Amino acid sequence: MTDPSSGPDPEGPAEDEGPRDLVQYTFFHVRPEWRTLPAADRERAKERFAGVLDRPPAGVRVRTYSLVGLKAGTEMMVWSIGPEVASIQALHARLLGTPLGGYLETAYSYLGMARRSEYLGEHAHGGEGSSTQRRPLGLPYLFVYPFVKKRAWYGLAYEERRRIMGEHFRIGHKYPKVRIHTGYSFGLDDMEFILSFEADSPDEFLDLVRDLRSTEASRYTELETPIFTCVLTSARRMLDLAEGLP
């Protein structure tokens, strides 16, 4: 796992970080009545919706994922990364303004912001944890979940927390193909972090999470659910799958 900064906290210096990316994970549920509309109406609506995703506001990066058959209550996920709140809002307003928007429910929504990890130290070798930007790699799978630490974690001395995270990093380095994208959500959303992990296959992420269960750091986990398994796909394919087209 490259730069496994899943245990960071809000303390430590943040000066000279530069602009920080905002990250938004929006999970949509398509109402069943959508699938009963005439095929021509659905086709036009999908073209409009996909067009918004394919041409997002300036500075916004978008990746689309399908969750059909993988999670109850949601079929689609839009991962958007942008320089400011206004651009993220503009994208979602355009999506809701399409004909399909009237048949969508936002099942889950998570907002975070990029910043440098406080615990990397010698591990800061140019990856995600040492940057204020988040850049999708385009790997086939994305695993997303909110994360909250127990308050006792923040009562530990910084050096003690860094020692504990050292074990976390060492296990993470056994899985170099799993790439983490940490969003810090203190004061922005209900959780403390929104974590996502790109991987080539579900099995390598399952093994990573299993190995992390026995670490000292895991004892300070308060919340790490719900968890979403998302499959990378084009905007149009995401919509076809949500409609029920194989």
10 Å Cβ neighbour count for 108? Answer: 17
Helices (H), the chain: 39-54, 85-96, 151-155, 158-172, 202-212, 235-243
Out of 103, 110, 119, 145, pick the active-site residue.
145
* DSSP for 15-49, written as a single string: TT-----EEEEEEEEE-GGGGGS-HHHHHHHHHHH
10 Å Cβ neighbour count for 122? Answer: 7
Closest by Cα among 173, 181, 231, 193 to 111: 193
| Residue 141 annotated to the active site | no
**Contacts of 117 by beta carbon, 8 Å cutoff, 6+ apart:** 3, 5, 8, 124, 129, 130, 182
Helix (H) or strand (E) holding 61: strand 61-66
State the catalytic residues. 145
